[in-house]
Amino acid sequence: QELALKSLGNEGLFLFSSLDTNKDLYLSPEEFKPIAEKLTGVAPDSESEEEETPDPEGETLSIVAKFQPLVMETMTKSKDGFLGISHVALSGLRNWTAPAAPMSVLLARQFKAFLPPKDNLDLGDPWWIIPSELNIFTGYLSNNRFYPPPPKGKEVIIHRLLSMFHPRPFVKTRFAPQGAVACIQASSSFYYTIAFRIHAEFQLNEPPNFPFWFSPGQFTGYIVLSKDSSHVRDFRLFVPNNRSLNVDMEWLYGASESSNMEVDIGYLPQV
């Protein structure tokens, strides 16, 4: 650690540590991938991350993303004109004014992740889509990260959907509550209506800036899906906006995990 600090300096070590996910002071090709994608502008085909490749001849559906940026005046720091807060720290937030992908065409079978794990669940019985991995022994995940890890399994579709809003969604939050849950609202011979709740967050900054975490209170919604996942009749995902505040924000001011952190809350009109 001391040698790395001497070689890289505080800010260089901060960036290195954000990529070194297993903290072994060595960057594997998988850990270096976010930088390679950033420098080359070439990202791997996201479909390769699917555990099961859907039938390309199956039904497709167009998903539309609508987004209204955070109302800056709802942040408590706005009361004194953001006094003492650098413009750079908030640059990722201020520049996020539109969805990253206003429309995306997906295969219906990609939504198979929302189906219940077994057929005999009663209405209202919950199950995990993405289980929480946090407990009193694991603590919380690092603040010192810029790029989300590659999604796996059922994380892939949720990552794909959230990426329509911003290119750096983390489907596993740093703190509890973490994960995604669902339950059956209604059932017929052909369809399920499934309600779900997702806890995820976005990283709005990139190097050389310090991390800025944007954490909506929750993503919720429902899907009307055929029991064989071949047809999606309806799908909605949104951040509830019926309260005066619905987003938590945290940003670092230094090049280490123990650096000073600013915290604020605000109101997001539409996701």
pLDDT per position as a tens digit, 41-73: 666 554 444 455 667 778 999 999 999 999 999
Question: Is 83 inside a domain boundary?
Answer: yes
Kindly state whether residues 116 and 166 are assigned to the same domain. yes
Q: In angstroms, rounded to a whole number, what is the distance separating the alpha carbons of residues 214 and 117?
A: 31
For position 27, what pLDDT does the model report? 84
Question: Is 252 inside a domain boundary?
Answer: yes
For position 81, what pLDDT does the model report? 86
Residues of the chain scoring pLDDT < 70? 38, 41-54, 135-138, 255-259
Kindly state whether residues 6 and 91 are assigned to the same domain. no
For position 257, what pLDDT does the model report? 61
Kindly state whether residues 184 and 170 are assigned to the same domain. yes
Question: Is 271 inside a domain boundary?
Answer: no
Q: In angstroms, rounded to a whole number, what is the distance separating the alpha carbons of residues 195 and 206?
A: 34
Number of domains in the chain: 2
Kindly state whether residues 86 and 168 are assigned to the same domain. yes
Domain that holds residue 23: 1-43
Kindly state whether residues 130 and 252 are assigned to the same domain. yes
Rg (the chain; Cα; Å): 20
- The residue among 43, 58, 76 that closes a domain is 43
Kindly state whether residues 97 and 20 are assigned to the same domain. no
Kindly state whether residues 113 and 246 are assigned to the same domain. yes
Kindly state whether residues 188 and 153 are assigned to the same domain. yes
Please indicate, yes or no, whether the overall pTM of this predicted structure exceeds 0.85: no
Question: Is 171 inside a domain boundary?
Answer: yes
Question: Is 262 inside a domain boundary?
Answer: yes
Kindly state whether residues 88 and 30 are assigned to the same domain. no
pLDDT per position as a tens digit, 160-169: 999 999 999 9
Kindly state whether residues 166 and 32 are assigned to the same domain. no
Contact between 244 and 74 under an 8 Å Cβ cutoff? The reply is: yes
Kindly state whether residues 7 and 85 are assigned to the same domain. no
For position 48, what pLDDT does the model report? 40
Return the DSSP state at 7. Answer: H
For position 226, what pLDDT does the model report? 97
Question: Is 125 inside a domain boundary?
Answer: yes
Kindly state whether residues 96 and 171 are assigned to the same domain. yes
Question: Is 77 inside a domain boundary?
Answer: yes
